[in-house]
Amino acid sequence: MTEIQSAQQPRALVEGHDLSHQVGAEVMVQMTDMNKWYGPFHVLRDITLTVHRGERIVVCGPSGSGKSTMIRCINRLEEHQTGRITVDGIELTDDVKKIEIIRREVGMVFQHFNLFPHLTVLENCVLAPIWVRKEPRRQAEERAMALLERVKIPEQAKKYPGQLSGGQQQRVAIARALCMTPKLMLFDEPTSALDPEMIKEVLDTMVALAESGMTMVCVTHEMGFAKTVADRVVFMDEGQIVEQAPPSDFFANPRSERTRLFLSQILKH
Ligand SMILES: Nc1ncnc2c1ncn2[C@@H]1O[C@H](COP(=O)(O)OP(=O)(O)OP(=O)(O)O)[C@@H](O)[C@H]1O
């Protein structure tokens, strides 16, 4: 088998929804019949999902449905046991070199920021470019400052994470991920740990990133973001992808009873 796999073309129809406008787009992530167990617990069941370059996917579903586990399989923070995943044409296996390549290409933002508390904002941002990519410090710092401008907090560069609000810390986490010039960004409930008044500033940053053409897979309960930004909403329940559709179809015409129930509960709040 060659190292660079040929990307599989997407199906025109997914669960009866017309996704034909995406056919022919380049594939960024391809999961095929992927399964994962935690001991006896079957957490991911036959996951097949295609993410195209430039596409913005929102993953939603009840707590415990496997959303985080699924996206963590994309950068091998979790290992799938059967089935296949390719990222940018590279199949994820135990091969450490391939995992390293993919980790450089895939940025991730977590619910709890995961910044190094003993490093300044700027030091957090340049750590991976300098140590992983062996970039000269000056070049890494220049790009980090440009990205801190982009997330609208350049004045915080010399502060420590503990001196920043939650919303500011999450914007640092986004800038830090972007410092590695990723081809794909994963977001795992990036606003769930934030006070309501800070959610908007992080969502605004994510919207700007989406508008820049970044490929994004976002686990979020922010259905406003899903409606306005997502190209496709993926609904998971009990480890399965139950339904996926463009947001206009997904919200107006959910196909499954489980999706309808989830939406009626989440849209109540
Ligand atoms: N390391 C682990 N070992 C065993 N079980 C796990 C582990 N991580 C997650 N699980 C279980 O797997 C299931 C899916 O977890 P996961 O975090 O992927 O769900 P989720 O849909 O992202 O949930 P939430 O919205 O609450 O974050 C849950 O039942 C969880 O308890």
pLDDT confidence of residue 266: 87
The better pLDDT of the pair 164, 267 is held by: 164
Chain CA centroid to CA 209, Å: 12
pLDDT tens, 25-45? 799 999 999 999 999 999 999
What gap in Å lies between CA 151 and CA 267, rounded to an integer? 29
pLDDT over 80 at 48, yes or no: yes
Asked if residue 48 is part of any domain, the answer here is: no
Residue 18 resides in a domain:
no
Nearest C-alpha to atom 9 of ligand 1 is from which residue?
69
Report which ligand 1 atom has the smallest distance to the Cα of 72: 18
Which residue, judged by its Cα, is nearest atom 26 of ligand 1?
Answer: 63
pLDDT score, position 269: 63
What pLDDT, on the 0 to 100 scale, is given for residue 6?
Answer: 33
Question: Does the structure show a pLDDT above 70 at 19?
Answer: no
Say what the pLDDT of residue 124 is.
97
How many domains does one find in the chain?
Answer: 1
Return the CA Rg of the chain.
Answer: 18
Residue 8 confidence (pLDDT) above 90? no
CA of 69 to the centre of ligand 1 (A): 6
Residue 13 lies in a domain: no
Please compute the mean of the pLDDT values over residues 162-173 and round it to a whole number. Answer: 96
Test site for ligand 1: of 42, 43, 44, most ligand atoms within 8 A of the Cβ: 43
Q: Distance from the CA of 68 to the center of ligand 1, in angstroms?
A: 7
Q: What is the ipTM of this complex?
A: 0.97
Q: Which of 180, 156, 184 is nearest to 170 (CA)?
A: 156
pLDDT at 259: 95
Q: For residue 16, is it within any domain?
A: no
Mutate to test the pocket of ligand 1, among 35, 67, 262 (most ligand atoms within 8 A of CB): 67
Q: Which residues does 66 contact at the CB level (< 8 Å), separation at least 6?
A: 43, 44, 236, 238, 239, 240
Which CATH number is 245's domain given?
Answer: 3.40.50.300
Q: Ligand 1 centroid to 70 CA: how many Å?
A: 10
What mean pLDDT is reported for the chain? 90
Atom of ligand 1 nearest to the CA of 219: 22
Look at residue 23 and tell me whether its pLDDT is greater than 70: no
Distance CA(207)–CA(224), nearest Å, equals: 11
* Residue 4: inside a domain: no
Q: How confident is the model at residue 268 (pLDDT cuts 50, 70, 90)?
A: confident
Q: Is residue 228 part of a domain?
A: yes
How large is the average pLDDT for residues 63-89? 96
What is the reported pTM?
0.90
Domain extent, residue 226, equals 27-39+53-267
Tell me what pLDDT residue 267 has.
Answer: 79
Position in ligand 1 atom list of the atom nearest CA 39: 4
Distance 155 CA to ligand 1 centre (A): 37
Is 12 part of any domain?
A: no
What's the helix, strand, coil split of the chain in %, to 5?
40, 25, 35
Please state, for a pLDDT cut of 70, what percent of the chain lies above it.
91
Average pLDDT over residues 47-51: 97
List, in order, residues 6 or more apart from 48 with CB less than 8 Å away.
31, 32, 33, 34, 241
Give 195-229 pLDDT, tens digit per residue. 988 999 999 999 999 999 999 999 999 999 999 99
- pLDDT of 188 above 90: yes
Residue 157: per-residue pLDDT: 97
165 part of a folded domain = yes
Question: Does an H or E element contain 244, and which?
Answer: strand 240-245
- In this structure, the residues whose C-beta lies within 6 A of any atom of ligand 1 are 38, 41, 43, 61, 63-69
